[in-house]
Amino acid sequence: MTIFLQRILGISALLAALTLVSSGVFGDESTKALPPSPERIDLAHFPGEIIDKVVVPVPAEIFTVLDKLDESDWSREIEIPKQTDWGGDRSRMALTFGALVAEGFVAVQARSSSEIETIGRRVLTLGESLGLASSVRPHSLAIIEASNQKDWTKVRAELDATQETVRSTMEKLRDDELAGLISLGGWLRGTNVVTSLIGNAYSEEKAELLNQPGLITHFREMIAGMRGPSANSTHIRTIATGLARIEAIITDSEKLSEEDVIRLHDISQSTLEEFYFDKSGDAQPTPSVN
């Protein structure tokens, strides 16, 4: 019996070794050839813990796909707004911060060192206004340096790091609402650029990139859950309405048409006019010196 068991174990060990070698992924003894995870899971009755945290993709994740599908004129999409003094309105500052970082990703696609440098400086100024100069300064300098060296991968990483540093610092200061607004500002500007590019050269394949109902629900819930001083401000209410309209278009359409994409662009534009772009015809807050 013992000999029989030894033989079985020996054969099993040999088969296991052959499987590991044939997998060739890492070639070490602990690599598994077949994933032990299930092939299917029941999402409606998940037996474990569902993690609440939403990681919002950076605009570069969509920009990368657009670049694979078509030649986009990124330089036409860069639109750095006038520097605005928001008079201590931290919610608008947070939204603008996120949108500026998104602008940086556009400038990277356009390979525009001068625009990236401007954005790097503006990010620092805004970081100072938010009381986070020491956290933002190293990133701002790194963005400018990498841009001068035309190291676009590094610029993208630093833009991501800048946003993450500011968001995590705000979360540590128990200012989760502002941290969420940074992500929202970036997402709105990213969507604004993507809808402009897709609207200019429409294809169903590109329009599919706008299928992001989970993110829109997340932002809507975030806005609805706001309890801070900005919760009832005009700009937050306008953004909430804009998100509801965006959600309606995306969830109602099986495939987004060219008209849908243009409508999405118009909505993102009007929400960005609450904190980023000039409102056409309306009085603007006093611009400060650049």
At its nearest, how many Å lie between another protein and the CB of residue 112?
Answer: 19
Give the 3-state secondary structure of residue 271: helix
Site for another protein contains 69 (CB under 8 A): yes
φ, ψ of residue 52 in degrees (nearest 5): -75, -30
Residue ranges of alpha helices (H) inside 151-212 are 152-172, 176-200, 204-207
d(CA 9, CA 21): 18
Residue closer to another protein, measured from CB, 93 or 101: 101
Site for another protein contains 27 (CB under 8 A): no
Site for another protein contains 88 (CB under 8 A): no
At its nearest, how many Å lie between another protein and the CB of residue 183?
Answer: 9
Residues 29-68 interacting with another protein (rule: CB under 8 A): 30-32, 35-43, 46-51, 53-58, 60-62, 64-65, 68
d(CA 123, CA 128): 9
At its nearest, how many Å lie between another protein and the CB of residue 27?
Answer: 11
At its nearest, how many Å lie between another protein and the CB of residue 192?
Answer: 17
Q: Rule CB under 8 A: choose which of 25, 232, 281, 286 binds another protein.
A: 25
d(CA 82, CA 232): 26
Q: Cβ-count burial of 232 within 10 angstroms (0-12 exposed, 13-18 middle, 19+ buried)? A: exposed
d(CA 193, CA 187): 10
Which residue stretch of 84-92, 105-113, 157-165, 257-265 sits at the interface with another protein (rule: CB under 8 A)?
Answer: 157-165
Site for another protein contains 164 (CB under 8 A): yes
At its nearest, how many Å lie between another protein and the CB of residue 30?
Answer: 4
d(CA 65, CA 209): 9
Site for another protein contains 262 (CB under 8 A): no
Site for another protein contains 171 (CB under 8 A): no
Give the 3-state secondary structure of residue 42: coil
Number of residues near another protein (by CB under 8 A): 56
Residue closer to another protein, measured from CB, 164 or 273: 164
φ, ψ of residue 186 in degrees (nearest 5): -65, -40
Site for another protein contains 16 (CB under 8 A): no
Site for another protein contains 114 (CB under 8 A): no
d(CA 184, CA 187): 5
In contact, 191 and 210? CB cutoff 8 Å: yes
At its nearest, how many Å lie between another protein and the CB of residue 166?
Answer: 11
At its nearest, how many Å lie between another protein and the CB of residue 56?
Answer: 8
d(CA 252, CA 115): 38
Token pair 């969830």 in the structure block, residue:
251
In contact, 129 and 93? CB cutoff 8 Å: yes
How many whole angstroms from its chain centre is CA 241?
Answer: 21
At its nearest, how many Å lie between another protein and the CB of residue 35?
Answer: 4
Contact residues: another protein, CB under 8 A: 25-26, 28, 30-32, 35-43, 46-51, 53-58, 60-62, 64-65, 68-69, 139, 142, 153-154, 156-158, 160-161, 163-165, 167, 205, 208-215
